[in-house]
Amino acid sequence: MPNRIDSTFARLRENQQKAFIAYVAAGDPDFETCLEILKNLADAGADILELGLPFSDPLADGIVNQMAADRALKSGMTTQRVIELIARFRETHETPIVLFTYLNPIFTYGFEDFHRDAAKAGADGILLLDLPPEEAALTTELAGGHGLKHIRLIAPTSPQDRIKLLAESAEGFIYALSRTGVTGSHGAPSANIAAQVANIKQFTDVPVCVGFGITTAAQAALVAEAADGVIVGSAIVKQVELFPERAAAAVREFTEPLIAATKSGS
């Protein structure tokens, strides 16, 4: 069976459209509400869902996503429950899911076991924020992990040789940061996105999607002109924080204009 990520980008290319990728923290504010949020995002037209595993020490995350992880942990979310959440979502939807996580919870669960169980539940890819590919290659256990596409993260400050290494080892799509720093909506995307994307694309045919700091429809359209996809995270998570009693509806209302702009801007 073809990977859902690859199939999605093939369909988008055929329709000359760009991908909209939405990030949410798994279990924020609780299991059932998060499941409803995921379904609403898929129904609104999100092409890929990024699901963040709640972790107690998310160093690369800004305050919005840190608080989301804290809410999820306090609601009782565990790595096993995240896998259950994916399985529940798969009962009704086929939208690709990429797990956004740090190594610690995966290593604790068991690297191979997690890949196997997550893929069996219906996950399609994984982005390990703190596991560089060259480090993974040095450890037999970490060099494995089959069943999930390994998404690579490339920063605008990455040196050229590292961009080449990351691009050539990427699967599914590349997450290109529009700027440096932690996650969050402070600071608009860089004006150099087109050049940044073109630089990465010389080393790979894997789609290049851009995230960090995208909060408006205008910004989404601008990024869609240069990249293969638009990634929005903290701005979506903020809706859960602001409107906990109607989180799923608030997320959909906020996201629909950004999805429309991504499609029309492409």
Q: What is the pLDDT along the chain (266 residues), one digit of tens a residue?
A: 679 999 999 999 999 999 999 999 999 999 999 999 999 999 999 999 999 999 886 566 678 888 998 999 999 999 999 999 999 999 999 999 999 999 999 989 999 999 999 999 999 999 998 877 766 655 556 656 678 999 999 998 899 999 999 999 899 999 999 865 444 444 555 568 999 999 999 999 999 999 988 999 999 999 999 999 999 999 999 999 999 999 999 999 999 999 999 998 54
pLDDT of residue 181: 47
102: Cβ contacts below 8 Å, ≥ 6 apart: 53, 55, 57, 58, 59, 60, 128, 129, 130
Catalytic residue positions? 50, 61
Q: What is the pTM of this model?
A: 0.92
Q: What are phi and psi of 241, to 5 degrees?
A: -65, -40
User: Per DSSP, what are the bridge partners of residue 49?
Assistant: 22, 97
| End-to-end CA gap in the chain | 28
pLDDT at 130: 83
Could you tell me where the DSSP H helices lie in the chain? Answer: 4-14, 31-44, 63-74, 79-90, 103-109, 111-121, 133-136, 140-143, 160-169, 193-201, 217-226, 234-242, 247-265
pLDDT value for 11: 97
Q: What is the CATH number of domain 4-265?
A: 3.20.20.70
pLDDT in the model for residue 212 = 86
Residue spans of the domains in the chain: they are 4-265
Report the pLDDT value the prediction gives residue 182, as an integer from 0 to 100.
Answer: 45
